[in-house]
Structure formats: C-alpha cells, structure tokens
Amino acid sequence: MKPAALTFEEVQKDQLHLLTQVAKNTFIAAFETQNNPEDFHSYISEAFAPERLQREWSNKHSTFYFCKLQKTLIGYFKTNIANAQTEFREKMGMELERIYVLSDYQNQGFGKQILDYVVQLANGMGKSYLWLGVWQENPRALSFYEAYGFQKIGTHPYDIGKDRQTDWLLRKNI
C-alpha cells in the first residue's frame, strides 16, 4: 500500500523553537542508546542549542524543511549548497545534511518521499549530484540510502562529544 503523500515547507524564523525540539528529539531517539551518555549529552547541548540552529537557519545556502502528513509534523531535513556544505563544496553538488522522521512514522515509505523531494529540489537548482554523510554504525540508514542508489565515496570523522566516529560519505548522481 502506498503511503499518503507528504507535504514540505521551509522552516520559518518563528518556527525555530519547534525545529529545535524536533531536531533534538529525533536525534536522541535515533542515537542515544548507541553512545556514551556523557559524550552524547555534551554533543546534544551544543549541536541543538537554539543559537546554533538559528545560525544554521540564517545561512543563505542552507534550508531546513518540515515534512508533514496532512497537518502533522513527522520529520525534517536540511540541505546545503555552495560553502554551506560540510565537504566538497562543489557547485554541482547538494548536501543532505540531516533527514529525520519521527519514530512513529518510520518504515512507512516517507523517507523515500523525502529523498524524492530533495532530488527535485536539487534538479531545480541544476545540481548533478546529491551527497550525505551517515554513521557507519547505522546499518538501517546505510541500507536505505544504498537501495535509493547512493554509493560510498569516502569517509569523514564525526565527533559526538569526545568520541570520534566515522561517517560514510554517500553520493547519488541525479
């Protein structure tokens, strides 16, 4: 059965408090149990501080989007182009830096809808590829992206507090 269609809207300045809550809650749900509590909580307090998300939101080359099922917020994602990209920074690329779906809505086909929309955004901007980083210890996400056509092109470090982890860099030509 095909999932209901999602709608997407750019996060507005007056929605930053909601973005902060959703970002923090989805990250905690996804990774808290797999990390050292001290390192993890240190990372959370820094990475999802309202001031930091405000700075990220204010970057003209980054865009946050809410994903909605009818009027219910079920997730969010963030794209980066130009110098906002965390790696590469090539004109023809777009980074999908974050993509999170609330746990109650996972495994229902919404992730594919989000990726389809991100590809549309990238195509609309004349980009030739989409890329992202995903933790090497996240087999569900790795399988999801590989099934969508992403291929591993490298790795980079990702620090959770004092714990240096490794993200796989994945790319999909579009």
pLDDT at residue 63 greater than cutoff 80: yes
19 versus 4: the higher-pLDDT residue is: 19
Two tokens, residue 8: 């997407």
pLDDT of res. 1: 66
The whole-chain average pLDDT of the chain stands at 96
| 6-129 placed in CATH 3.40.640.10 | no
pLDDT at residue 3 greater than cutoff 90: no
Convert the pLDDT of each residue in 70-102 to its tens digit. Answer: 999 999 999 999 999 999 899 999 999 999 999
pLDDT of res. 4: 83
What pTM, to 2 d.p., does this model score? Answer: 0.94
